[in-house]
Amino acid sequence: MSEHGPGPIRHRSWLEVRWRQLNAAPPPVFRAVLSSLLVAVVLGGLFLAYDLALDSGATLPGGDLRTLAGVVFVVAVAGLGAWITYLVVPQPGRPGVRSGWSAALGLFAALPIAYLTLVVLFQVVKPLLGR
Protein backbone atom coordinates (compact mmCIF):
# COMPACT_ATOMS: atom_id res chain seq x y z
CA MET A 1 0.00 0.00 0.00
CA SER A 2 1.47 3.31 -1.01
CA GLU A 3 0.67 6.59 0.61
CA HIS A 4 -0.40 9.30 -1.74
CA GLY A 5 0.02 12.66 -0.15
CA PRO A 6 -1.21 15.85 -1.65
CA GLY A 7 0.56 16.90 -4.81
CA PRO A 8 2.72 19.97 -5.07
CA ILE A 9 0.96 23.21 -4.36
CA ARG A 10 0.34 25.20 -7.51
CA HIS A 11 1.53 28.78 -7.28
CA ARG A 12 -1.16 31.25 -8.32
CA SER A 13 -0.39 34.65 -9.80
CA TRP A 14 -1.27 37.82 -7.92
CA LEU A 15 -4.13 38.50 -10.34
CA GLU A 16 -5.55 35.00 -9.98
CA VAL A 17 -5.49 35.25 -6.17
CA ARG A 18 -7.30 38.63 -6.25
CA TRP A 19 -9.85 37.31 -8.77
CA ARG A 20 -10.63 34.32 -6.52
CA GLN A 21 -11.00 36.65 -3.52
CA LEU A 22 -13.37 38.87 -5.48
CA ASN A 23 -15.48 35.92 -6.61
CA ALA A 24 -15.62 34.44 -3.12
CA ALA A 25 -16.28 37.62 -1.14
CA PRO A 26 -18.57 37.06 1.85
CA PRO A 27 -22.07 38.45 1.12
CA PRO A 28 -22.07 40.94 4.03
CA VAL A 29 -18.81 42.49 2.86
CA PHE A 30 -20.00 42.58 -0.77
CA ARG A 31 -23.26 44.29 0.25
CA ALA A 32 -21.42 46.82 2.43
CA VAL A 33 -19.00 47.74 -0.34
CA LEU A 34 -21.71 47.87 -3.01
CA SER A 35 -24.04 50.08 -0.95
CA SER A 36 -21.23 52.50 -0.13
CA LEU A 37 -20.03 52.53 -3.72
CA LEU A 38 -23.50 53.34 -5.07
CA VAL A 39 -23.90 56.22 -2.60
CA ALA A 40 -20.40 57.51 -3.43
CA VAL A 41 -21.01 57.42 -7.20
CA VAL A 42 -24.30 59.33 -6.96
CA LEU A 43 -23.03 61.95 -4.51
CA GLY A 44 -19.69 62.14 -6.31
CA GLY A 45 -21.46 62.95 -9.56
CA LEU A 46 -23.27 65.81 -7.83
CA PHE A 47 -20.02 67.06 -6.27
CA LEU A 48 -18.24 66.94 -9.63
CA ALA A 49 -21.11 68.86 -11.28
CA TYR A 50 -20.84 71.51 -8.53
CA ASP A 51 -17.07 71.74 -9.05
CA LEU A 52 -17.41 72.03 -12.83
CA ALA A 53 -20.10 74.71 -12.45
CA LEU A 54 -17.78 76.78 -10.27
CA ASP A 55 -14.89 76.26 -12.69
CA SER A 56 -16.99 77.54 -15.58
CA GLY A 57 -17.75 80.79 -13.74
CA ALA A 58 -21.15 80.11 -12.23
CA THR A 59 -22.06 82.33 -9.32
CA LEU A 60 -23.81 80.17 -6.78
CA PRO A 61 -25.27 81.18 -3.42
CA GLY A 62 -22.58 81.06 -0.76
CA GLY A 63 -19.71 81.39 -3.22
CA ASP A 64 -17.00 78.75 -3.54
CA LEU A 65 -17.68 76.12 -0.89
CA ARG A 66 -15.76 73.21 -2.45
CA THR A 67 -13.90 72.36 0.74
CA LEU A 68 -17.12 72.21 2.72
CA ALA A 69 -18.73 70.20 -0.08
CA GLY A 70 -15.86 67.71 0.09
CA VAL A 71 -16.28 67.28 3.84
CA VAL A 72 -20.05 66.91 3.43
CA PHE A 73 -19.45 64.33 0.69
CA VAL A 74 -17.22 62.16 2.90
CA VAL A 75 -19.54 62.42 5.91
CA ALA A 76 -22.62 61.69 3.78
CA VAL A 77 -21.03 58.66 2.10
CA ALA A 78 -19.89 57.32 5.48
CA GLY A 79 -23.27 57.94 7.13
CA LEU A 80 -25.46 56.70 4.30
CA GLY A 81 -23.16 53.76 3.60
CA ALA A 82 -23.31 52.69 7.26
CA TRP A 83 -27.09 53.17 7.40
CA ILE A 84 -27.82 51.26 4.18
CA THR A 85 -25.47 48.47 5.26
CA TYR A 86 -27.30 48.35 8.60
CA LEU A 87 -30.54 47.83 6.67
CA VAL A 88 -29.31 45.15 4.24
CA VAL A 89 -26.76 43.14 6.25
CA PRO A 90 -27.96 41.00 9.16
CA GLN A 91 -25.72 40.15 12.08
CA PRO A 92 -23.68 37.00 11.38
CA GLY A 93 -25.24 33.90 12.92
CA ARG A 94 -28.52 35.68 13.65
CA PRO A 95 -30.57 36.00 10.45
CA GLY A 96 -32.93 38.94 10.44
CA VAL A 97 -31.27 40.66 13.41
CA ARG A 98 -29.70 44.05 12.79
CA SER A 99 -27.00 45.33 15.09
CA GLY A 100 -24.21 47.83 15.43
CA TRP A 101 -21.97 45.24 13.78
CA SER A 102 -23.71 45.87 10.46
CA ALA A 103 -23.39 49.63 10.76
CA ALA A 104 -19.71 49.35 11.71
CA LEU A 105 -19.08 47.15 8.68
CA GLY A 106 -20.74 49.78 6.50
CA LEU A 107 -18.69 52.58 8.04
CA PHE A 108 -15.40 50.73 7.58
CA ALA A 109 -16.32 50.02 3.95
CA ALA A 110 -17.54 53.57 3.26
CA LEU A 111 -14.53 55.61 4.37
CA PRO A 112 -11.97 54.25 1.89
CA ILE A 113 -14.59 54.19 -0.85
CA ALA A 114 -15.37 57.88 -0.28
CA TYR A 115 -11.73 58.89 -0.62
CA LEU A 116 -11.08 56.61 -3.59
CA THR A 117 -14.14 58.04 -5.31
CA LEU A 118 -12.80 61.56 -4.82
CA VAL A 119 -9.47 60.54 -6.33
CA VAL A 120 -11.10 58.92 -9.36
CA LEU A 121 -13.48 61.84 -9.91
CA PHE A 122 -10.92 64.62 -9.68
CA GLN A 123 -7.79 62.91 -10.98
CA VAL A 124 -9.32 60.79 -13.75
CA VAL A 125 -12.86 61.85 -14.71
CA LYS A 126 -12.45 65.63 -14.49
CA PRO A 127 -9.32 65.71 -16.72
CA LEU A 128 -11.08 63.43 -19.21
CA LEU A 129 -13.87 65.98 -19.42
CA GLY A 130 -11.27 68.53 -20.49
CA ARG A 131 -11.61 70.87 -17.55
pTM: 0.78
Q: Report in angstroms the alpha-carbon separations of 67 from 74, 80, 94.
A: 11, 20, 42
pLDDT at position 70, please? 94
Q: Domain residue spans in the chain?
A: 27-128
Could you read off the pLDDT of 33-70 as tens digits, one per residue? Answer: 899 999 999 999 999 999 998 888 888 888 888 899 99
Give the rounded distance of the alpha carbon of 52 from its chain centre.
23
pLDDT at position 120, please? 95
What value does the mean pLDDT take over residues 77-94?
Answer: 88
Could you read off the pLDDT of 109-121 as tens digits, one per residue? Answer: 999 999 999 999 9
Which one, of 22, 20, 40, lies nearest residue 81 by Cα?
Answer: 40
How is 75-99 classified by DSSP, letter by letter? HHHHHHHHHHHHHH-PPTTSTT---
